[in-house]
Amino acid sequence: MAVGAQAAPVDKGSNQHRQEMLWGYGLTSIWLIGFLVFSAAPIIIALFISFTDWNPIRDGAFWNARGNGVSNYKIFLADHRYWHAVWNTIYYSVGSVGLVNVVSIPVAVLLNQKLRGINIYRTIAYLPAIMPAVATVLIFRMMFQPSSGFISWILTRLHIQCDPSQLTCNPYDWLSNPRLTMPAVILVSTWALGQTMLIYLAGLQGISGSYYEAAAIDGANTWEQFRNITLPLLTPAIFFNVVIGLIGAFQEFTKFIIWSGGAGGFSGGPSDSLLTLFTYSYEKGFEDNLMGLATAMAFGLFVLIGIFTVINFVGQRRWVFYQEER
Amino acid sequence: MKRALVAFVSVAVLIGGTGSAGWAQTSQSAANSSLPKITGCTAKGHISFFHWGDKNTDKGFRQAISAAEKACPGLTVDNQWDQGNYDTDLKTKIGSGNAPDLFMLDGAKRIAQYASQGALANLNSFVKRDKLNLKKTYVPQCLPQMQYKGKTYGMMLACSDQQLLFYNKDMFKARNVKFPTDKWTYKDFRAAAMKLSGNYSVPGDPTSKLRFGYVGSTDDFAVQQYIWQWGGDWTNKAGTTCTLDSPAAAKGLQWWVDLKYKDHGAPTAQQAGSLGDKVSGFRDQSFAMSFMGPWAMNYTFGKSPGSTVTPVKFKWGVVTPPKGLKNNQTLVASTGLVVYSKSKNKNAAYWLAKFESLGKGGQVYAAVGDDTPGALALYKNKAVKKEFGSIIGVQNKAYKTARRPVQLLNYDQFYSAVANDLSPMWSGQTSAADATKKACTDAKQYLNP
């Protein structure tokens, strides 16, 4: 067939059509089977489990579990710790996503400059994103140690806290003071901002230089150019980062477990300050052996993520601008 | 003469028969410090055995399993060593229909829980068949932890006192404080802890740094011990009522909070972070005293053969726990080998549990310093004596005031809720009276029915 020539329609009953169909199904079947086995089936099984009182120690495998209707959903909705976990989840998600985005934009702007060796700076800025979360949190945990960590050292030198080497000094406790644990974990989340920053960088490079030239002719200074050109044209990237960031933050698990000293005996951190929907679901499932309840709670988290995503998509009409629309 | 000969032969046959039907520990073997001989194997087939421990423990178990397979031809064992979170991994195995036939389980915390949920096989019929006198076979102080509602579910692999008072002689000398004795009370303990706290150097660590008398543990065993000393407990004997909010319990806990925040004899929560726990902090000479079990030989002092930690350079000693101001009791805990209730080869799993707890397995477990044996006969074993010789005498004294935690069917959940509410108390933000009241409110859902 010559390039540009229109392909002749294939008769649906023909051998060629059947062959093409077979090839089509054959090539997509790998993905389809993978989706059915590893995504669809677990979701359906999880939904089934959420309507049972499955206790692995008592019942063994999940198919031995007894159905209990919507009891699990009623139990967690009436549980005050669940609502505390909802609050903590929102607190962390909004806090960390907000902070990461606020920090990422200026970093991306800096890395968008035409400087010698800029690629090296970009690589350095991205490097933390490829570090394993467990290692990152463990290192930060050491830095936040109340008496000997780097943060404590700085606070002592700045006379913000007492000298931890004194017997009667109680330094700021980022690991076990319920008021400080969540802010500390939120601060740690800014470490791996490479992914978010990279998207902003791509967004910045997509903004046409003609806007800045026109603004400069009109006498706009750098801040005015940033506020009136860069920021509005970056809103699609901000929107993307906020949606993806929130979905990820709602499902955060590693940071809380490591920050509170490891999975064994996790009970929500000091005074439940690190109890989120994911960690609470883990606690119910793997510590209390209430797999049915834990699974129902996971669906609660799914609904919460859904609500926030819908709010984002509905709200974006008011504040997201696309260059084409301008 | 003829009648006497017949009687003699009959008795000899009877003794021999009993031995071959079950286990037999000859007095000769005990005198020679060798292992009890486990005979009468009726086990056949393939079973799986799931256990925790470090690589040294695993190596030991592999040796023990080889010995079991040799002693019982026709039996093969799949040794499964867990290097992750044992409790979670065990539940995952059971939940996925992949439960091991035989596994290790914490006697103080979990055997009752697993038994009450039908996950463990009742071993009474096997014990009866083998004419095993449990009270004469295992350390009696821990035996009830292998049982639930009168039924035996575990063969005791290890039993020990968890609150032996280990102390760093170098630190005591550096501060000119007299060594602890078995006659110490908690008043003596507090006075010493205060004197041992401050900025100073010790021979093995010339850096002058902030050190404390006591580590100030807040784990579940420590909390119970703190409460017991003042006559309280966290529940009633049946585990059906939370008594953590009783004046005795609150007073006991407040005493330890005061030791941290008023007396400065132990680090506050804010100070403790970088000092390590009762093992690492004691090793680093940050703390002069620590309550630990015999497992300290391996994990703290690095004294055991093949230990994964380096041996400590300071001199140390051990005494019985100090006497409480109202009560004098010390916490004992154990490890059991339990058979899964749905195992298809319970007989083989039981036999291996018996073999491991009474013979090579128990010896290996003790010889690598993991814990003192559960089987009484093993205390005569050379390797066990070598490993725990300096501790066994102290532990035997401590056993006189042994006490077991109440069998809670939701031990982990109960403690988890309690720990969560006691956390502000340990941080000095609230009183023990307030914290324990809240703890009882939140933890009551996990009490025994």
Q: Which residues on chain B are in Cβ contact (under 8 Å) with A76? A: none
Looking at beta carbons, which residues of chain B come within 8 Å of A56? 91-92, 94-95
Taking contacts as CB-CB distances below 8 angstroms, the residues of chain A near B420 are 267-268, 270-272
Instruction: Check A146 against B342: CB less than 8 A apart.
Output: no
Contact check, Cβ <8 Å, A270/B427: yes
Look at A165 and B209 and tell me if their CB atoms are within 8 Å: yes
Q: How far is A128 from chain B (nearest CA, A)?
A: 25
Indicate if the alpha-carbon torsion angle B261, B265, B270, B271 is positive or negative.
positive
How far off is chain B from A262, nearest CA to CA, in Å? 10
Ramachandran angles phi, psi of B233, nearest 5°: -160, 170
> In this structure, are residues A56 and B91 in contact, taking their beta carbons and an 8 Å threshold?
yes
Report the alpha-carbon angle A138-A142-A145, nearest 5. 135
**What's the pLDDT score for residue B5?**
44
A173 vs B97: CB contact, 8 Å cut-off? no
Contact of B377 with B358, CB cutoff 8 Å: yes
Show me where the domains of chain B are located: 44-161+333-403, 164-331+409-446
What is A73-319's CATH number, 3.90.850.10, 1.20.58.220, 1.10.3720.10, 3.30.450.40?
Answer: 1.10.3720.10
Q: List the single residue in A with minimal CA-CA distance to B435.
A: A271
Asked whether the beta carbons of residue B95 and residue A61 sit closer than 8 angstroms, the reply is yes
Closest Cα of chain A to B210: distance in Å?
Answer: 6
pLDDT-based confidence at A266, cuts 50/70/90?
A: low
One of 3.40.50.720, 3.40.1160.10, 3.20.190.10, 3.40.190.10 is the CATH number of B44-161+333-403, namely: 3.40.190.10
Q: Which residues of B touch A166 (CB under 8 A)?
A: 210
Between chains, do A176 and B97 touch, taking CB under 8 Å as contact? no
Check if B207 contacts A (Cβ < 8 Å): no
* Cβ contact, residue pair B269, A263, below 8 Å: no
Does B344 contact chain A (CB < 8 Å)? no
Q: Which residue has the tokens 């596994």?
A: B103
Question: Is any Cβ of chain A less than 8 angstroms from the Cβ of B101?
Answer: no
Are A264 and B91 inside 8 Å of each other by CB? no
Contacts of B429 in chain A (CB under 8 A): 177
Superfamily of domain B164-331+409-446: Periplasmic binding protein-like II (3.40.190.10)
Mean of the pLDDT values across residues A27-49?
Answer: 94
Whether residue B114 and residue A57 make contact (CB cut-off 8 A), yes or no, is yes
Query: In whole numbers, what is the pLDDT of chain A averaged over residues?
Result: 90
Mean pLDDT of A160-175: 88
Note whether B198 contacts A: Cβ–Cβ < 8 A: yes
Chain A residues whose CB is inside 8 A of the B268 CB are: 170
Interface residue B208 vs chain A (CB under 8 A) = no
> In this complex, do B270 and A265 lie within 8 Å of one another by their Cβ atoms?
no
Indicate the DSSP class of residue A50. T
Facing residue for B427 by CB, picked from A61, A164, A173: A173
Cβ-based burial of B147 (10 A; exposed 0-12, middle 13-18, buried ≥19): buried
With 70 as the cut, is the pLDDT of residue A5 above it?
Answer: no
**How close, in Å, is residue A197 to chain B by CA atoms?**
33
Domain residue spans in chain A?
19-64, 73-319
- The SS3 call for residue B46 is strand
pLDDT score of A31 more than 90: yes
β-pair type (B402-403, B330-339): parallel
- Give every residue of chain B whose pLDDT is below 50, as ranges: 1-2, 4-33
Q: What is the DSSP string of A229-268?
A: IIHHHHHHHHHHHHHHHHHHHHT--HHHHHHTT-STT--S
For residue A301, give every residue at least 6 positions away whose Cβ sits within 8 Å of its Cβ, in sequence order, or none. Answer: A89, A250, A251, A277, A278, A281
Quickly list DSSP for B328-356: --EEEEEEEEEEBTT-TTHHHHHHHHHHH
- Measured torsion, CA atoms of residues A145, A146, A149, A151, in degrees rounded to the nearest 10: 110
Measured between alpha carbons, how far is residue B337 from residues B5, B102, B149, B388 in Å?
Answer: 43, 7, 18, 22
Read off the tokens for B188: 């003596």
Structure confidence at residue A264 (pLDDT):
54
Residue B339, exposed/middle/buried by CB under 10 A (0-12, 13-18, 19+)?
buried
Instruction: Find the residue in A nearest to B118 (Cα).
Output: A58
